[in-house]
Amino acid sequence: MKKICGIALMFFLLLSCAANQLETRHTDYAKPIEGDTLYTDLFCGGAHPPGPESIVILYPENGPYKIVPSSKDVGYTKKEHLKPAEALLLAYDYLGYKKHPERLQMRTIKDRRGTLAGYDLRPPFYTTYGQPGDIIDAKYYLKGNGIVEA
């Protein structure tokens, strides 16, 4: 009986975690963000950005979600009140792709209803076979009150 209850509890916990995870969708290239909305940039990286482990997360300030790093151990800096073009230029510069932003991988972060939570930009990474890959396993979880942990 204890074994069945334990398995049921684990199944319930797995479902509840999956229900709070936001979706990320890959776009073909880092395209400009349009509109008059102000954005916040979170610059997250390894010991020496730019590098393959660097990532920039952008989210609209007037949107329903605020994205925060999930761990205090993650080294990041934050810039607020940025116009879309300025937010993207700072992201391109941080990632080392100011001259060729079209090479960056850009993903939209959305909830299950399709509401935009933000974007993440990362440098391309190619496997030994020359195929695009991804060494950054970024996941986004809704924690309540519009807070999303990255």
Q: Using one digit for the tens of pLDDT, what is the confidence trace for 85-132?
A: 899 999 988 888 877 777 788 888 888 888 888 888 888 776 666 555
39-44 vs 76-82, strand pairing mode: antiparallel
Half-sphere exposure of 110 (CA within 13 A, CB side): 10
Using only the alpha carbons of the chain, give its radius of gyration: 17
Tokens of 51: 């590098």
Check: pTM over 0.85? Answer yes or no: no
Q: At 109, phi and psi to the nearest 5? A: -115, 115
Q: Using one digit for the tens of pLDDT, what is the confidence trace for 21-67?
A: 666 655 544 556 778 889 999 988 766 666 667 889 999 999 899 98
Domain map of the chain by residue range?
A: 2-149
> Where do the DSSP E strands lie in 16-103?
23-27, 39-44, 55-60, 66-68, 76-82
pLDDT on residue 138:
76
Tell me, what DSSP letter sits at residue 150?
-
pLDDT on residue 11:
41
3 state SS of 102? helix
